[in-house]
Chain A
Amino acid sequence: MSISLKRAGAIFVKDYKEFSRNYALSIMLIFPIILALLLRAAGAGSSLPGSFATVLNLSFVLLTCFAQACLIAEEKERNTLRSLMMTPATTMDVLIGKSTLVFVMSAVVLAIATYLFGYEPASIWAFVAAIIFSIILYTAVGTICGLFSKTLLDASLSIIPVTIVFSGAPWGAFLVDDYPIFKVLDYVPSSQLVHLLGISHTGFTTGDLLKPLLITLVWTVVLTIVSVVLYQRRLKDE
C-alpha cells in the first residue's frame, strides 16, 4: 500500500480547518488547560503528585481520543470517507493525516497545560516518552471508537466507556483491599502514568522509570496494531 505525504498532508490541512471551525469539537482543546488551572488553584499541585496525572488522563480521553473518533465518524456520517476511498488516497493516507493532526493538537495543548500547572517531572525524558506513547495509544483507541460509530453523536457517546476504563482505572486502587480482582487495573496505562509521575525527584532508579514506560509501550504497540487492522478491514466494505 503506497503512502503519499502530499495526500496525507492534504487530509491534515482539510481536517485542521474542519476541526477548528466546528466549535462544538474544537472547544475540547481548552479543556486540558482549564482542568490544569482548576487543579492548580485547588492547591493540590504540591501535595498530591497524582493530581497532574489526573489532568493528563482525562485530557487524553476527552481531547485525543474524542478528536480522533469525531474526525473519523464525521467523515462516515457525511459519506465523504466513501468518496475519499475512490480517490487515489489510501486508507493509510487518511489515517496518517488524521492521526498526525490529533497528535500535534494534543502535544501542543498538553505542553501548555503542563507549563501552566507548573509540574516538574523527575526525569524529563521519561515524562516526554510517556506522553508520546500515551497520545499514540489514545489516538488508536479513538480510531477504534470512530470505526464503530456511524455519526458524530455515536462517537461522542462511545468515549464514555473509554473514560470509565482508562481515566477511572487509577481510582480502582481504592477498591483493591475489598476486591483483589481490581489489581489488574494497576496495569492500565493511566495507572502506570500515575506511578511514573509520582516518582520523587530524589533517589529514583532507571528501573523505576522503565517499568511504567514499558507497560505503556506494550499497550501502545498492541492497540495501534489492533486499530490499524480493524481500520483496514472495516473500510474495505465502505
Chain B
Amino acid sequence: MQFQPIYYDGELFLPKIELNMSCNQSIGIITDLKRKQLLMNQLLDRSQYHIFRAGQNEYMHLTVEELITFLINVTERNERAALLLDYFALKEERKVKIKNLSPSKRMYVTLLRVYFAHQPTLVLEEPYFYLEEQDRRQFKRILDDLSKEKQFLILTSNLEDAIISCDAIYRLNKLGFHQLDIRDSEEDKQEVQEQDRANITLQKIYTKRNDKVILFDPPEVDYIESIDGSILVHVGGENYVCALTLTELEQRLLNFGFFRCHRSYIVNLQKVREIITWTKNSYSLRLNTGKDAVVPLSRSKLHELKALLNI
C-alpha cells in the first residue's frame, strides 16, 4: 500500500508512506481528521480496498434481520441469515428496526457491512468510536476472525482504539510518520530479574522541556512511555522528555510503586483505576488521572501484576 506525498503551502502535510501489508495483519494509523480524509482519498480502487467511513449510515426502516438478508443477497453469499445473526450476537434484536436500536448497537450493525466485503483490504475509519464496551468486544471478535483472510487498516485519532485490534501502530502528524513500539516481548524478562533493586538515592526524575530542566517527584508521575526510542514522562496530561532509558527508570522507580506493565511502558500503580480486558490476550490499564489515560498491559505482565496487587 502506497500513499503519495501531499503538500500544503509548500509544506509537507502528508509524507510519502509505504506500508508492506502481509495477509492477516492489521495496521493502525493514529492521525487527525484532515489526514484521515487524505489517506482514504488515495484508496479509491474498489477491487482492492473496502472503505468504511465514519459517516456511514444505515437503512433506518429495515429490521436487523432484513438488513442482514439484504447484505447477504446483494453480495451473493451463500450464508443463512439466522446463522449469521447468531454469530453477530444479534439474535435478540433481529426483529428490531435499525432506527429503534441504541446508538451503539446501530453503529455496530452498520459496521457489520465490512464483514460482507469481498476486497482483500479493509479500511476502517474510527470503528470503535461510537461503540460501547460490549459491542466493542463483539466487533473486535469479528475483526479477529476476518483478519485470518484479510488485512486491515484502521484510521483513528485514539491510541486506545488502535491498540484494541492492531498489530502495528503508526502515528502520523506534523512530525511525520512513525511507528509506535507496542509489541509484546519476552526477551526483556530475564534482564529485569537480574537487576538489583536497592537504588533509592535518587529522589527526582530529571526531564527536559523547551530547554528547561524540570524535576518531578516520582509520585507525581502517571506513566512513562517509550516512543521511537525517546522516553516521555507523562504528568497530569502533559509529557516531558527524559534522558534515561526505560530499564534505568524501572530500577529507580521500583520502590515507589511503579511497574513495567509493557515493553514500552512503566506505570505508577498508585494511579491505576481499572484493568480492562479486551480479549483473553489483550489488556489495558486505565488511570484515574484527570485526563482519561489508558496504558497497554502485556499478557506476560498480567500475572506479575496480579501477584503484586494480591489479586
Contact count band on A: 20 to 34
Is A84 in contact with chain B by the CB < 8 A criterion?
Answer: yes
Complex contact A17–B74 (CB within 8 A): no
Is A87 in contact with chain B by the CB < 8 A criterion?
Answer: yes
Complex-state Cα separation, A78 to B52, whole angstroms: 13
When distances are taken between beta carbons in the complex, the residues of chain A under 8 Å from B66 are 14, 17
The 8 Å CB contact of B61, one of A21, A77, A79, is A21
Is B247 in contact with chain A by the CB < 8 A criterion?
Answer: no
Complex contact A18–B61 (CB within 8 A): yes
Complex contact B59–A14 (CB within 8 A): yes
Complex-state Cα separation, A80 to B61, whole angstroms: 13
When distances are taken between beta carbons in the complex, the residues of chain B under 8 Å from A17 are 61-62, 66
Closest Cβ–Cβ distance, residue A49 to chain B (whole Å)? 40
Complex contact B58–A78 (CB within 8 A): yes
When distances are taken between beta carbons in the complex, the residues of chain A under 8 Å from B70 are 10, 13-14
Is B216 in contact with chain A by the CB < 8 A criterion?
Answer: no
Is B51 in contact with chain A by the CB < 8 A criterion?
Answer: yes
Complex contact B62–A88 (CB within 8 A): no
Is A109 in contact with chain B by the CB < 8 A criterion?
Answer: no
When distances are taken between beta carbons in the complex, the residues of chain A under 8 Å from B10 are none
Complex contact A83–B61 (CB within 8 A): no
Complex contact B58–A85 (CB within 8 A): no
- Would A80 and B57 be within 8 Å (CB), given that A86-B51, A87-B116 are in contact? yes
Task: Enumerate A1-55 residues with CB–CB distance to B below 8 Å.
Answer: 4, 6-7, 9-11, 13-14, 17-18, 21-22
When distances are taken between beta carbons in the complex, the residues of chain A under 8 Å from B210 are none
Q: Which residue of B lies closest to A78 (CB)?
A: B57
Complex contact B76–A88 (CB within 8 A): yes
When distances are taken between beta carbons in the complex, the residues of chain B under 8 Å from A85 are 46
Complex contact A84–B74 (CB within 8 A): yes
- Would A80 and B76 be within 8 Å (CB), given that A14-B66, A85-B46 are in contact? no
When distances are taken between beta carbons in the complex, the residues of chain A under 8 Å from B116 are 87
Complex contact B62–A18 (CB within 8 A): yes
When distances are taken between beta carbons in the complex, the residues of chain A under 8 Å from B117 are 86-87
Q: Which residue of B lies closest to A75 (CB)?
A: B59
Complex-state Cα separation, A86 to B45, whole angstroms: 10
Complex contact B59–A80 (CB within 8 A): yes
When distances are taken between beta carbons in the complex, the residues of chain A under 8 Å from B57 are 77-80
Complex contact A7–B74 (CB within 8 A): yes
Is A199 in contact with chain B by the CB < 8 A criterion?
Answer: no
Closest Cβ–Cβ distance, residue B92 to chain A (whole Å)? 21
Is B55 in contact with chain A by the CB < 8 A criterion?
Answer: yes
Complex-state Cα separation, A9 to B58, whole angstroms: 19
Is A112 in contact with chain B by the CB < 8 A criterion?
Answer: no
Complex contact A88–B118 (CB within 8 A): yes
Is A89 in contact with chain B by the CB < 8 A criterion?
Answer: yes
Task: Enumerate B282-305 residues with CB–CB distance to A below 8 Å.
Answer: none
Complex-state Cα separation, A14 to B61, whole angstroms: 9
* Contact indicator per residue, chain B 259-277, by CB within 8 Å of chain A (1) or not (0): 0000000000000000000
Task: Enumerate A76-134 residues with CB–CB distance to B below 8 Å.
Answer: 77-80, 82-89
Complex-state Cα separation, A67 to B9, whole angstroms: 46
Complex-state Cα separation, A86 to B62, whole angstroms: 20
Complex contact A86–B46 (CB within 8 A): yes
Is B56 in contact with chain A by the CB < 8 A criterion?
Answer: yes
Is B113 in contact with chain A by the CB < 8 A criterion?
Answer: yes
When distances are taken between beta carbons in the complex, the residues of chain A under 8 Å from B118 are 87-88
Complex contact A88–B55 (CB within 8 A): no
- Would A89 and B74 be within 8 Å (CB), given that A14-B66, A17-B66 are in contact? yes
Closest Cβ–Cβ distance, residue A25 to chain B (whole Å)? 10
Q: Which residue of A lies closest to B47 (CB)?
A: A86
Complex contact A10–B74 (CB within 8 A): yes
Complex contact A79–B73 (CB within 8 A): no
* Contact indicator per residue, chain B 61-74, by CB within 8 Å of chain A (1) or not (0): 11000100011011
Complex contact A87–B61 (CB within 8 A): no
Complex-state Cα separation, A178 to B118, whole angstroms: 63
Complex contact A79–B53 (CB within 8 A): yes
Closest Cβ–Cβ distance, residue A61 to chain B (whole Å)? 24
Complex-state Cα separation, A23 to B113, whole angstroms: 26
Complex contact B55–A79 (CB within 8 A): yes
When distances are taken between beta carbons in the complex, the residues of chain B under 8 Å from A80 are 56-59
Complex-state Cα separation, A86 to B122, whole angstroms: 11
When distances are taken between beta carbons in the complex, the residues of chain A under 8 Å from B193 are none
When distances are taken between beta carbons in the complex, the residues of chain A under 8 Å from B58 are 78, 80
A-B contacts, 16 listed (Cβ < 8 Å):
A6-B76, A7-B76, A14-B70, A17-B66, A77-B57, A78-B59, A79-B53, A79-B57, A80-B56, A86-B46, A86-B117, A87-B71, A87-B74, A88-B74, A88-B75, A89-B74
User: In the complex, given contacts A85-B46, A87-B116, A88-B74, what are 20 additional A-B residue pairs having Cβ atoms less than 8 angstroms apart?
Assistant: A4-B76, A7-B76, A10-B70, A10-B73, A11-B74, A13-B70, A14-B59, A17-B66, A18-B59, A18-B60, A18-B62, A78-B59, A78-B60, A82-B53, A83-B52, A86-B51, A86-B117, A87-B74, A87-B117, A88-B76
In order of increasing CB-CB distance, the 4 nearest A-B pairs are: A10-B73, A78-B57, A21-B61, A10-B74
